[in-house]
Amino acid sequence: MYIKTVDFSLFSSIGIGQRVDLKMIEQEEEIEADDFFVGAANNILLSPTPPPLAKLSKNFDYIVREGESLLVGASVLSGRLLSYAKRHDIGGFEFMAKLPGTVGGMTAMNAGVKEYEIFSLIEELRIGGEWVKASQIEHGYRFSRLPAAVTAVRFFISEGFDHALMERLKAYRKNQPLEPSAGSVFKNPPGDYAGRLIESVGLKGYRKGGMAWSPIHANFLVNLGGGSFDDAIFLIDMAKERVYESFGIKLEEEIEIL
Ligand SMILES: Cc1cc2nc3c(=O)[nH]c(=O)nc-3n(C[C@H](O)[C@H](O)[C@H](O)COP(=O)(O)OP(=O)(O)OC[C@H]3O[C@@H](n4cnc5c(N)ncnc54)[C@H](O)[C@@H]3O)c2cc1C
């Protein structure tokens, strides 16, 4: 275990935050129950007073083929896993194209696109030094109830990387803003879209300080330069209030506010 100081204004995808010490885990045994893990911070909005944070070191960055399954360390980035799947003609991982994150972060969020999500590929997860069947972990749309940090995942694999599927899913991201963001801020409520609701209450493109609801996709909070935590929270609270007043719908954050 060692400590690494990271500047969240550079490390996080939304470009917000201060310098914080990360407890870098090198061995499973070093993990403590109250450690709060970060992956690649693509889904995190850091407050000025976050809890103590931990992160898996490079020791958890490996991909090993084991017969009909793939053993992957939780530090592995989505792009690396996607490249591996392409190179070895393995199917199932196409949805990870342009979906930024680590295997640990994607598992915690049950990350996915449309009907494709990571849990449908998982056979078992390594948690607390033991293998746990994926079916034993409660999970659903953009959540999983992990009892502790995931250090590795064993994926089912199928033959044949589907290039056409990957291109279709990439095309679906055409309306995704290019400015720094943490992806979708809110989960889509059942039968509706958070972006549509935010647009309906007049907030698409609405700006506070350096942050704005993207004029391209209203459910993305973008950092136009110098955006702060307070600007982001102001806009998030405003969207929640307005959508509730107009539609009686309580928007639930997909991003993790720490
Ligand atoms: C441009 C952009 C597009 C995006 N598009 C999508 C999309 O299409 N679909 C989608 O689902 N998401 C999307 N996201 C959000 C983000 O990519 C996912 O949530 C991803 O899973 C985050 O992974 P991460 O490693 O960055 O996790 P982090 O943001 O670092 O953490 C996210 C959560 O995972 C937990 N976590 C991290 N590592 C571990 C671990 N080892 N064990 C247990 N818990 C852990 C953290 O505690 C936190 O609760 C997008 C984000 C951006 C910036």
Structure confidence by residue, pLDDT tens digits, 204-218: 999 999 999 999 999
Say whether both 7 and 85 belong to one domain: no
125 touches ligand 1 (CB under 6 Å) = no
pLDDT for the residue numbered 34: 84
146 touches ligand 1 (CB under 6 Å) = yes
Say whether both 186 and 200 belong to one domain: yes
Say whether both 22 and 43 belong to one domain: yes
| Ligand 1 atom having least distance to the Cα of 103 | 25
Say whether both 78 and 150 belong to one domain: yes
Q: What is the mean pLDDT of residues 77-104?
A: 97
CATH number of the domain that residue 16 is part of: 3.30.43.10
Task: Calculate how far, in angstroms, residue 43's C-alpha sits from the geometric centre of ligand 1.
Answer: 5
Say whether both 39 and 77 belong to one domain: no
In which domain, by residue range, is 208 found?
177-257
Percentage of the residues of the chain whose pLDDT score is greater than 70 = 100
Q: Whose CA is nearest to atom 47 of ligand 1?
A: 37
Task: Calculate how far, in angstroms, residue 241's C-alpha sits from the geometric centre of ligand 1.
Answer: 25
Mean pLDDT of the chain: 96
CATH number of the domain that residue 146 is part of: 3.30.465.10
| Ligand 1 atom having least distance to the Cα of 180 | 53
Tokens encoding 191: 């039968």
CATH number of the domain that residue 239 is part of: 3.90.78.10
Say whether both 101 and 151 belong to one domain: yes
Domain count, the chain: 3
Q: What is the mean pLDDT of residues 1-8?
A: 98
| Pair type for strands 122-127 and 130-133 | antiparallel
Say whether both 121 and 159 belong to one domain: yes
> How does DSSP assign the chain, residue by residue?
-EEEEEEHHHHSTT----EEEEEEE-SGGG--TTPEE-SS-SSEE--SSPPPEEEE-GGG--EEEETTEEEEETT-BHHHHHHHHHHTTEES-GGGTT---BHHHHHHHT-EETTEEGGGGEEEEEETTEEEEGGGS-EETTEE--SS-EEEEEEE-EE---HHHHHHHHHGGGGS--SS--SBSBPPPTTS-HHHHHHHTT-TT-EETTEEE-SS-TTBEEE-SS--HHHHHHHHHHHHHHHHHHH-----B-SEE-
77 touches ligand 1 (CB under 6 Å) = no
Say whether both 38 and 85 belong to one domain: no
Q: What is the pLDDT of residues 20-61, one digit of tens each?
A: 999 999 999 999 988 899 999 999 999 999 999 999 999 999
134 touches ligand 1 (CB under 6 Å) = no
| Ligand 1 atom having least distance to the Cα of 148 | 43
Give pTM, 2 decimals: 0.95
User: How far does CA 224 lie from the centroid of its chain?
Assistant: 21
Say whether both 66 and 34 belong to one domain: no
Q: What is the pLDDT of residues 152-205, one digit of tens each?
A: 999 999 999 999 999 999 998 888 999 999 999 999 999 999 999 999 999 999
With bands split at pLDDT 50, 70 and 90, how would you rate the model's confidence at 93? very high
pLDDT for the residue numbered 174: 85
Q: Whose CA is nearest to atom 3 of ligand 1?
A: 183
Say whether both 194 and 164 belong to one domain: no
17 touches ligand 1 (CB under 6 Å) = no
